[in-house]
Amino acid sequence: MGSLRNFLSAVAVAVAVSAQDVETNSARLPSPPKPEPIDIFELPLPPVAPSRDEGACTPAINPRRTGCIGIETLEFQAGSFTTDGNHVVVTVELIGAPAAPDPASIYKGEQLLLIKADGKTFPNGDTWKCLSCGVPADQARSLDPERDYPHVFRSGKNVLWGHNILDCGGADLASTECTPDRTHIYPIHWPNTADGSGRGGIPREMRLHPDDVHMGWSSFTSTGGQFCYFGRLQFNPNPSVGEPRAPRFDLVNVNLLNPSDEKRGAPIFAEDGELRINRDAITVGELRGFSGAGDEILYLGSPWEANNIDVLAVHVVTGAVRRLTSHPDYTDPLAYSPDNKWFVVMDTRVSERQMFMSGMRWLPPLVDIVAVTAASSTRNNHERRFFQPILIDQYGDRGDYFGQQVNAGGDSSNGAVNDPNWNGRADPAFSHDGTKITYWQALVVPKACGDPNPLPCPNSTAQGGRTYRVMVAHLTSRKKSKPAKVFKVPDFIPWAQPFPAGSPVPASHYSLPPGNYTVRGRVSGGADVTLLEDPAIPGRLRTVSVAYQGFVDEPGYVINGHEEVSVDILLPDVWNNMVHWYSDIVQTGAVQASKKTSPDGFHLLIHAVTNVFQANGTLTTTIDGVEYHQPANGT
C-alpha cells in the first residue's frame, strides 16, 4: 500500500498545485501596460492527404511530392521561431507517402519541419522544408521516439526535437546549405545508474535553457510520483556504457529541483498544531521552461489560492519564488520573450471555465490538499483544452491586470482567430526580436462535440479540413528588442540537491498527518481545519474540513463560513476520483462574494486522464452579483 499511497499523493502534486502577495506587491511593481494592437495570421502547412494509405499523398495533392499531413492532430506540435523570425519549427506526422525506392518515400512518419512565417517560399516553391527527412541512417542512430516540444536553440543552429537534438553542422537551418547529408540527429540520454549501464532515466516535458547547454525536465517515479530535474547536455560521440550505444547527448551534473527540507519544499506543513501555508516553498510540480534571460525556472506549482492553478518562477541561484499568474482560471504552458520583458501563457481565463470553483479570491489552498487533482482535471473536456494565449508583462498578473488576450480580434465566427472552438496547445513562443508570438490551436472534435455532447461539431475552415493550425501574432506597435544577456547558471543549483547517476529517487512528496489544526490568516482571523485519513487507503488523506472565522489573507477580503471536500479514489483506477464537496462561504469587504453548493452538496466524478465532467448537485461562485456556474455534464 505504501507505493500506492505515494502514487496518489504524487498525482496530486504532479497535476497541480504556490509565489508572492500580488495585491500588496502591486504597490511596488510598475503599473500594468495598456493593451496593444495585435495582428494575427495563419501559417501554411503541407497539404492534407485523405488517408494514411501508401500513396494517398498523390502528385495531384502535392505536385512537388514533398509530403502530406493528416486531418487529425496526430503527433502534431508547433514550437519556436528560427533566429530571423521567418520560420517556425513543427513536429508533424507525414502520411500517404509512396513506397521506397520512390524518392518521395522519405516524406513519411514523424518528422521535423521548418514552416515559412514570412509569406515566402523555399527555393523549391514549398512553404515548408523537412529537416529530418532523408537523413542517412548512420547520422540518426537510435533516436528517441519522443518528438514533442520542438524548439530552436538560441544559437539558431540546432533544434531540440523531443528527446533528440538535430544538428546541421553549423549551417543556417533554413538555408540550402542545410541538407540531409549534412544533418545529424542525436538522442538524449539520462544516465541513472552509478555504472552508467542500461537505458537510463525517462525524462518528460524537456525544456532547453537559453544558454543552449542546460536542460530542465520532469520525470515520473516508478510509483507514479513526479519530480523535476536540471542538468547539462554533454556530447558523447562514442559511448562505451549504457543504451543507446550510439553518438548521443548525456545529461550530466543533474540536480533534483524538489528541496528535501520541508520548509523549502512543502507547500503546507504542520507545526505546533497549526498548518502553515508556505509561499516560499519551491514546489516544482511540472517544469515548464525558463525565463528569457534564463535566471528563473518556470513551473506549475502548488496553489496560493483555493482551486487556482498557476505558474510560478524560482530564481536558479537565490531560490526566490514569484507567482507569475494569479487569475482564478487554470494556466499551464507558457513562454518568455528573449528580452525577458514579457511572457505568453495558455490559460482558460477567456472561457472562465474554472470560475465556479476558483473564482473567490484569497481563499487559502486548504481543500486543495485533497481536491487539487479534481481542480486541474475539470479544465479539459476529453481532448479539448479551453486555452487561449494571454500576453502578460514580466511582473505577472497583479491587481486587476490579467494581461491581454493575444487573439481577441475577430468576430468569433467559425474559424475566426478568436473562435472559441479553436483552442491553444503547448507551447507558444516569442520571436527573438520580441515582435511576434507563435502558437498553435486544435479544433474541438468528437467526443468534445457531437451527439451526445450538446456542442455541434464545427466544420473546419483550415486547409483540407485539418483540425489544427499554426498562428502568428504580430505585435505591430513594438520596436525590435535584443535578447537579454543570458544568465550564467551554475551546474549545481544552491537550493537543489545534486542528483548523480544512481541516486535514489525520493519516495514521495511531503504528507500531512491527519488531525485537527488551526490556520492563521496572514492579516487577521483564522480557520479550524480537520484532516481525515482515507479508511480505504491508510496514510492517504480523504477529507479536508475548514471553518473560517473572519479569515483574512489579503487586506479587505474577509472570509467566513465552512467548506468540506472528500475525495475517494475509485480503485483500481487511480486516476478516477469521486469528489464530495460542501461549501457555504461568504466573502465581504472589497467584494461581496459567495461560494456555495446546493443543499445536498456537489458530487463530481472526474477522471484525471479522460476529463469528462459528471456531477450531481451544484457548486456556484458569485462575485458582486455575477454568478459562475459549473459546466454541464459531459461538456
Q: Under the rule (CB under 6 A), what is the footprint of ligand NAG?
A: 456, 458-459, 515-516, 530, 603-605, 614-616
Which is closer to ligand NAG, CB of 384 or CB of 603? 603
Q: Are 374 and 577 in contact (CB under 8 A)?
A: yes
Q: How far is the CB of 48 from ligand NAG (least distance, A)?
A: 17
| Phi, psi (rounded to 5 degrees) for 465 | 75, 15
CA-to-CA distance for 211 and 290, rounded, in angstroms? 10
Considering the complex, state which of residue 169 and residue 454 has its C-beta at the smaller distance from ligand NAG. Answer: 454
Q: Pull the grid cell for residue 202.
A: 525517462
Contact between 131 and 103 under an 8 Å Cβ cutoff? The reply is no
Q: CA–CA separation, 560 vs 596, rounded Å?
A: 12
Cβ nearer to ligand NAG, comparing 24 with 616: 616
Question: Considering the complex, what minimum distance in angstroms separates the CB of residue 407 from ligand NAG?
Answer: 21
Cell numbers that stand for 116 in this block: 515559412
The answer to whether the beta carbons of residues 439 and 78 sit under 8 Å apart is yes
Instruction: Quote the DSSP letter at residue 384.
Output: B
The DSSP annotation for 178-218 comes to --GGG-EEEEEE---STT--SS----EEEEE-TTSSEEEEE
- Minimum Å gap between C-beta 458 and ligand NAG is 5
Residue placing its CB nearer to ligand NAG in the complex, 458 or 539: 458
Q: What is the DSSP letter of 573?
A: -
**Least distance between ligand NAG and beta carbon 69 (Å):** 21
**Judged by CB, which is closer to ligand NAG: 131, or 449?**
449
| Cβ atoms of 23 and 399 closer than 8 Å | yes
- CB nearer to ligand NAG: give 246 or 605: 605
Residue whose CB is less far from ligand NAG, 590 or 605: 605
Which residue, 355 or 443, is less far from ligand NAG as judged by CB? Answer: 443
CB of 478 to ligand NAG, least distance (A): 37
On whether the CB atoms of residues 297 and 286 are closer than 8 A, the answer is no
Q: How far is the CB of 524 from ligand NAG (least distance, A)?
A: 23
Q: Is the bond leading into 572 cis (omega within 30 degrees of zero)?
A: yes
Q: Nearest 10 degrees: CA dihedral of 463, 465, 466, 471?
A: 50
Strand locations in 445-572 (E): 468-474, 497-498, 515-520, 524-533, 541-552, 557-569
